[in-house]
């Protein structure tokens, strides 16, 4: 309990820092720390799968994206200082936010007893999925349609990001070309970490069927390794018009959808799996989905095309 | 007070803090940051509901856990799109502000 109280105070502390810091870059660094501390809180709440996701995506990849944006927007910092709202608006906002927090706190204190739960149903049917991790069973079997739509949402976000490219660079290379010192620390770390990170990513994905982990966490680590290699200048981001890249991006949702449709023939419903092939089908979906998510996440961080394709 | 209640109250305060930042910060990037702070608080509140639903040998209800994972990924996708829009605005106008053209 003392640990939990201390952790909650730390989380609130870095949250206040993230809001109050004058410098945006400092606020972003606070946000990354906030994500990592929240991941600890998730472990304490017996949700290791969520903890992995929060650390990898909520803190890691989002942090990288925000750090990149804050360095690019640094010049606009001073101009924005003159637009700060007056004391009346700040006071009104503070009152509103205290009311919202108090309302939510009251709801937390008045949650029904005993708590409603679907855990017994999840446990009762897990044998039919062939999986050992209940969260993966929810993601890939019970609520597979949510996960299918989620992979589509990621693709739509990427289409949105790409569509922001100016016409002259359409189909070109995302983001600036990174050049790091070939003898520098970043290059060294990238060369050392990328092969290891790829192994860790594949491991986290593979154990997801029986232990904490899964396609989103594994894919994020794979994406992070690709981003690191791009940042260190070891590889360049591929032009967004490449056929193989487009196929890689849609492979996951396409296989997912195809097996979902085959569910009508095999088990009588969309995304239904026949019991004897359930695990095989789930893994068949998960492998391309992991690769597609990894590519999509990395390209979301890389941003819209900024350099024209070679003609 | 149980640990779940403690983290629930923490989540409630995080939502308020993030909302305050969303309203008072003029820079769009700070608003995006504050919005993600709210997201963390909302997920934590939902995580408390999951923790209270611990049963059948699981430490928490796996259904909310899966929904939170989905939520974190979708929040990232939305953040990436918002930042791309913001950087494009900066590229076009040299400014990154939501104020009207004075």
Based on the fold, state whether residues A143 and A284 are members of the same structural domain. yes
Based on the fold, state whether residues A224 and A287 are members of the same structural domain. yes
User: Which position has the higher pLDDT, A186 or A10?
Assistant: A10
Tens of pLDDT, residue by residue over A80-90, are 767 778 889 99
- Last residue within a domain, chosen from A48, A74, A100: A74
Based on the fold, state whether residues A60 and A132 are members of the same structural domain. no
A228 Cα to chain B: minimum distance (Å): 17
The reply to whether A111 falls in a domain is no
Single out the residue of B82, B7, B9, B23 nearest to residue A50, CA to CA: B7
Based on the fold, state whether residues A162 and A280 are members of the same structural domain. yes
Interface of A with B in 22-81 (CB under 8 A): 24, 27-28, 31, 34-35, 38, 41-42, 44-47, 49-50, 53-54, 57-58, 61-62, 65-66, 69-70, 72-73, 76-77, 79-80
User: Which position has the higher pLDDT, B68 or A308?
Assistant: B68
Tens of pLDDT, residue by residue over B66-95, are 999 999 999 999 999 999 999 988 888 877
- Last residue within a domain, chosen from A74, A101, A133: A74
Test B29 with A70 for CB contact under 8 angstroms: yes
Based on the fold, state whether residues A37 and A174 are members of the same structural domain. no
Alpha carbon distances (Å) from A223 to A118, A179, A293: 33, 19, 8
Confidence of residue B101 (pLDDT cuts 50, 70, 90): low
Test A80 with B68 for CB contact under 8 angstroms: no
The reply to whether A99 falls in a domain is no
Q: Please count the residue pairs, one from chain A and one from chain B, whose beta carbons lie less than 8 angstroms apart.
A: 286
- Evaluated on CA atoms B53, A216, B74, A258, the torsion sign reads negative
Tens of pLDDT, residue by residue over B19-44, are 999 999 888 999 999 999 999 999 99
Test A45 with B68 for CB contact under 8 angstroms: no
What ipTM was estimated for this complex? 0.91
- Last residue within a domain, chosen from A19, A49, A74: A74
Q: What is the mean pLDDT of residues A279-300?
A: 90
Closest residue on chain B to A58 (Cα): B72
**What value does the CA radius of gyration of chain B take, rounded to a whole number of Å?**
17
Test B4 with A45 for CB contact under 8 angstroms: yes
Based on the fold, state whether residues A127 and A222 are members of the same structural domain. yes
Pair of tokens at residue A110: 């008045």
- In DSSP notation, A237-302 reads PPPTT-HHHHHHHHHHHHHHHHHHHHHHHHHSSTT---GGGHHHHHHHHHHHHHHHHHHHHHHHHH
The reply to whether A107 falls in a domain is no
What's the distance, CA A170 to chain centroid?
A: 26
Based on the fold, state whether residues A244 and A300 are members of the same structural domain. yes
User: Which position has the higher pLDDT, A129 or A298?
Assistant: A298
Test B61 with A154 for CB contact under 8 angstroms: no
Confidence of residue A9 (pLDDT cuts 50, 70, 90): very high
Test A123 with B84 for CB contact under 8 angstroms: no
> Which residues in chain A are contacts of B88 at CB distance < 8 A?
164, 304
Test A80 with B48 for CB contact under 8 angstroms: no
- In DSSP notation, chain A reads -HHHHHHHHHHHHHHHHHHH-SSHHHHHHHHHHHHHHHHHHHHHTT-HHHHHHIIIIIIIIHHHHHHHHHHHTGGGHHHHHTTPPPHHHHHHHHHHHHHHHHHHHHHHHT--SSPP--HHHHHHHHHHHT-S-HHHHIIIIITHHHHHHHHHHHHHHHHHHHTTS-GGGTTSEESPPP---TTSHHHHHHHHHHHHHHHHHHHHHHHTTTSS--HHHHHHHHHHHHHHHHHTTSSPPPPTT-HHHHHHHHHHHHHHHHHHHHHHHHHSSTT---GGGHHHHHHHHHHHHHHHHHHHHHHHHH-SEEEPPP-
Test A73 with B7 for CB contact under 8 angstroms: no
What pLDDT is attached to residue B102?
42
Query: Cβ of A302 under 8 Å from any chain B Cβ?
Result: no
User: Which position has the higher pLDDT, B45 or A84?
Assistant: B45
Q: Give the residue numbers spanning the domain of A19.
A: 1-74
Q: Please count the structural domains in chain A.
A: 2
User: Which position has the higher pLDDT, A75 or A252?
Assistant: A252
Tens of pLDDT, residue by residue over A245-258, are 999 999 999 999 99
d(CA A125, CA A134): 10
Based on the fold, state whether residues A247 and A140 are members of the same structural domain. yes
Based on the fold, state whether residues A16 and A151 are members of the same structural domain. no
Based on the fold, state whether residues A188 and A295 are members of the same structural domain. yes
Confidence of residue B100 (pLDDT cuts 50, 70, 90): low
d(CA A75, CA A77): 6
> Which residues in chain A are contacts of B47 at CB distance < 8 A?
41-42, 45, 47, 50
Test B80 with A157 for CB contact under 8 angstroms: yes
Confidence of residue A311 (pLDDT cuts 50, 70, 90): low
What pLDDT is attached to residue A151?
92
The reply to whether A112 falls in a domain is no
Q: What's the whole-model pTM score?
A: 0.90
What pLDDT is attached to residue A208?
83
Could you report how far apart the first and last alpha carbons of chain A are, in Å? 63
User: Mean pLDDT in chain A?
Assistant: 87
Based on the fold, state whether residues A22 and A157 are members of the same structural domain. no
Domains of chain B and any CATH numbers: 3-93 (1.10.287.3510)
Tens of pLDDT, residue by residue over A103-158, are 999 999 988 888 788 887 777 777 777 777 888 888 888 888 888 999 999 999 99
Test A108 with B80 for CB contact under 8 angstroms: no
> Which residues in chain B are contacts of A72 at CB distance < 8 A?
87, 90
> Which residues in chain A are contacts of B54 at CB distance < 8 A?
46, 117, 119
Tens of pLDDT, residue by residue over A188-244, are 888 888 999 999 999 988 888 788 888 888 999 999 899 888 888 888 888 888 899
Suggest the residue from B49, B50, B62 to mutate for an interface test with chain A (most A CBs closer than 10 A).
B62
Q: How many CA atoms lie within 13 A of A152 on its CB side?
A: 10
* Of the partner residues A4, A34, A80, the one whose CB lies closest to the CB of residue B27: A80
Based on the fold, state whether residues A52 and A172 are members of the same structural domain. no
């Amino acid at each position: 309990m003392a640990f939990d109280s201390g952790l909650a105070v730390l989380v609130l502390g870095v949250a206040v820092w993230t809001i109050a810091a004058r410098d945006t870059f400092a606020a972003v660094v606070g946000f990354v720390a906030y994500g990592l501390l929240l991941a600890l809180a998730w472990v304490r709440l017996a949700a290791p799968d969520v903890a992995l996701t929060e650390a990898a995506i909520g803190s890691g990849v989002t942090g990288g994206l925000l750090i990149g944006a804050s360095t690019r927007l640094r010049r606009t910092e001073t101009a924005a200082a003159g637009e700060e709202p007056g004391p009346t608006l700040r006071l009104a906002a503070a009152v509103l936010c205290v009311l919202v927090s108090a309302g939510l706190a009251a709801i937390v204190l008045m949650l029904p007893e005993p708590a409603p739960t679907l855990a017994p149903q999840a446990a009762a049917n897990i044998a039919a999925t062939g999986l050992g991790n209940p969260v993966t069973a929810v993601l890939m079997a019970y609520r597979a349609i949510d996960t299918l739509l989620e992979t589509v949402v990621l693709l739509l976000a990427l289409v949105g990001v790409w569509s922001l490219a100016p016409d002259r660079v359409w189909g070109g290379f995302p983001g600036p070309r990174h050049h790091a010192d070939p003898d520098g620390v970043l290059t060294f770390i990238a060369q050392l970490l990328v092969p290891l990170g790829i192994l860790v990513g594949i491991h986290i994905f593979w154990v997801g069927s029986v232990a904490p982990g899964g396609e989103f966490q594994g894919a994020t680590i794979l994406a992070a390794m690709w981003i690191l290699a791009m940042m260190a200048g070891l590889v360049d981001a591929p032009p967004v018009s490449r056929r193989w890249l487009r196929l890689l991006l849609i492979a996951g949702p396409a296989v997912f959808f195809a097996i979902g449709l085959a569910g009508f023939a095999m088990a009588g419903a969309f995304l239904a799996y026949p019991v004897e092939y359930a695990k095989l089908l789930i893994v068949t979906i998960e492998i391309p989905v992991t690769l597609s998510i990894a590519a999509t996440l990395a390209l979301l961080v890389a941003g819209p095309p900024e350099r024209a394709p070679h003609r | 007070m149980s640990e779940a209640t403690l983290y629930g109250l923490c989540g409630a305060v995080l939502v308020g803090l993030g909302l305050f930042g969303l309203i008072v910060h003029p820079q769009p990037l700070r608003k995006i940051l504050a919005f993600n702070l709210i997201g963390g608080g909302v997920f934590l509140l939902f995580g408390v509901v999951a923790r209270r639903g611990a049963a059948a040998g699981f430490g928490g209800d796996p259904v909310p856990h899966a929904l939170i994972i989905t939520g974190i990924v979708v929040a990232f996708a939305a953040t990436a799109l918002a930042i791309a829009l913001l950087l494009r605005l900066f590229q076009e106008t040299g400014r990154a502000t939501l104020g009207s053209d004075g």
